[in-house]
Amino acid sequence: MNEEEHERVREAVAAIPAGRVATYGDIAGRVGLPSARLVGRILREDGVDLPWHRVLRATGKPAEHLATEQLTLLAAEGVIARDGRVDLRRYRWEGP
């Protein structure tokens, strides 16, 4: 991993509008990373100061250890979760 990619991932995440969400895979594809796992790794490192809570799994469920807080933050922006799962068809951000 190089700084170049970290930087683009941060931009991509920062670009997600409030009230919308994206999946790890969406971000990976958008910045050209080969695996969605890498996005999670990057957010684990410098996710601080970014709207990381707008990034979910492809299933609409957040990562286990973050579930509670992440869903709270999303709810505060109007993103409602059903049974701990967000409706991607409705909130997914497809870019500008």
Partner DNA sequence: ACTATGACAGACG
Partner DNA sequence: TCGTCTGCCATAG
Contact residues for DNA (CB under 7 A)?
1, 23-26, 34-41, 43-44, 47, 52, 55, 57-59, 63, 65-66, 83
- Phi-psi label, residue 74: left if phi above 0, alpha if psi -120 to 50, beta otherwise: alpha
Asked whether 76 and 55 are in contact (CB, 8 A), the reply is no
Min. distance of Cβ 78 from DNA in angstroms?
A: 19
Min. distance of Cβ 41 from DNA in angstroms?
A: 6
At residue 75's C-alpha, the angle toward residues 73 and 64, to 5°, is 60
Q: Which is nearer to DNA, 3 or 96 (CB)?
A: 3
